[in-house]
Amino acid sequence: MENRLVINGGKRLSGKVVVDGAKNSAVALIPAAILADSEVTIEGLPDISDVHTLYDIVSELGGSVKYDSQTAIIDPSAIVDMPLPNGNVKKLRASYYLMGALLGKFKKAVVGLPGGCYLGPRPIDQHIKGFEALGAKVTNEQGAIYLRAEKLRGARIYMDVVSVGATINIMLAAVLAEGKTVIENAAKEPEIIDVATLLSNMGANIKGAGTDTIRIIGVPNLHGCHHTIIPDRIEAGTYMIAAAAMGDGVEIQNVIPDHLEGITAKLAEMGVPLEISEDSIFVKKSTAFKKVDVKTYVYPGFPTDLQQPFTTLLTQAEGDSIVTDTIYPSRFKHVAELMRMGGQFKQNERTAVIYGKTPLSGARVTATDLRAGAALVIAGLLAEGTTEILGVEHIERGYGNIIQKLSALGADIYKEIAESNLA
């Protein structure tokens, strides 16, 4: 037996939902805080398992974390350069940010190869190329990455592939390096600006975050500061899709609309009426959906993280839609699960054709990764009858209080705890 989410479908949604801080920022901000010499306060971190895993890792390294639902105070002053070959680092993909942070702080690090959702090969070769350019020797020994440097010196680094993870990781390593680092063909996601803002508040000298060229002049040390995380554009987009699918009027609060242009454009193209305010988006009731084609791109294009939830919505469009994922071509494991619920698809490599409109019916399905889980939750809301979703732990990695938030909107959703977990 394992934990499952149970959804009795067909209930209409209405009301307000408040978006948490960005998961993809949080998992980089906490490692970034390690670089300071004194307390770093971060407001608005999401209450998700990935964040709690990082708190545990900071404690393992000798730091302390005090947190409540609003604020985390991270004190890195007693952190030591302890190797992290196994354990918590294996639980999340973003543990690779510990490489850049520990290398920057101690000029050495041992970090187990990261875990998280398997979305096909996501190599860290661009991260390693950046670390080597800064003067580190990098080896892979028994499934852990060993990084060693006598000193780190600024360098000009051209990214062969636009990578959010590598851009942030190189920034973390470079802020305490000697001299000037230039990252060319850098990723431009809002989360990169968020991490650069925290580092700048800590005393780093960073220019150009959010453009394709980031310039960093190394400083001798960094100090604590106060920082508020940006809202999670992927969580916001997920609730916008759920509201489009089953809403009678849902307001999504705590958003930065500029960060959501990729998804708002596609929802509007489908015929979903939206009212966009300064920090909220109201999704009005939709009566019919037009088919649309979607291609994922790096920011500001349509986000790969919303491809799977959006695919669920397209099962309700009139006509056939085509979804192409140019970022993670193997990110289509949700298709087989949606087919169990009555969805009709044709899939090859990086493209899926969604045949609409098809009614969905409840079934037992499995969330194979975080955003596939979100796709199945939306399918469960739409479906006639009861849907049971296994693999709940994937969903909890990225969506804080999802049951409470959807229940407050009118969904019939609850978590069934496996008896073995109650012991």
User: CA-CA distances (angstroms) from residue 372 to 267, 326, 390?
Assistant: 19, 17, 11
Distance CA 221, CA 104 (A): 10
Regarding beta strands 205-207 and 180-184, do their DSSP bridges make them parallel or antiparallel, or are they unpaired? unpaired
Q: Which two tokens stand for residue 346?
A: 């044709």
Single out the residue of 70, 182, 170, 67 nearest to residue 127, CA to CA: 170
- The annotation status of 23 as a binding-site residue, yes or no, is yes
- Alpha carbons 71 and 89: distance in angstroms, whole number: 23
Q: What angle do CA 378, 28, 311 make, to 5 degrees?
A: 20
Q: Using CA atoms, how far apart are residues 375 and 366, in angstroms rounded to an integer?
A: 11
Closest to 341 measured CA to CA, from 318, 365, 357: 365
Q: Which of 169, 195, 193 is nearest to 181 (CA)?
A: 169
Question: And the tokens for 334?
Answer: 């949700």
126 is known to lie in a ligand binding site: yes
Instruction: Give the Cβ contact number of residue 44 at 10 Å.
Output: 21
Catalytic residue among 19, 94, 117, 374: 117
**Residue 412 annotated in ligand binding:** no
Q: What are phi and psi of 272, to 5 degrees?
A: -80, 120
Residue 359 in marked binding region: no
DSSP for residue 329: T
117 is catalytic: yes
Q: Is 16 helix (H, G, I), strand (E, B) or coil?
A: strand
305 is in an annotated binding site: yes
* Residue linked to tokens 């920090």: 279
Length of the chain: 423
Main-chain dihedrals φ then ψ at residue 37, nearest 5 degrees: -95, -10
Residue 68 annotated as binding site: no
Q: What is the C-alpha to C-alpha distance for residues 247 and 239, in angstroms, rounded to an integer?
A: 10
User: Is 93 flagged in the annotation as binding?
Assistant: yes
Q: What is the dihedral of CA 40, 41, 47, 49, to 10 degrees?
A: 10
Known binding-site residue numbers for phosphoenolpyruvate: 23-24
Known binding-site residue numbers for UDP-N-acetyl-alpha-D-glucosamine: 93, 122-126, 305, 327
Catalytic residue annotation:
117
Known binding-site residue numbers: 23-24, 93, 122-126, 305, 327
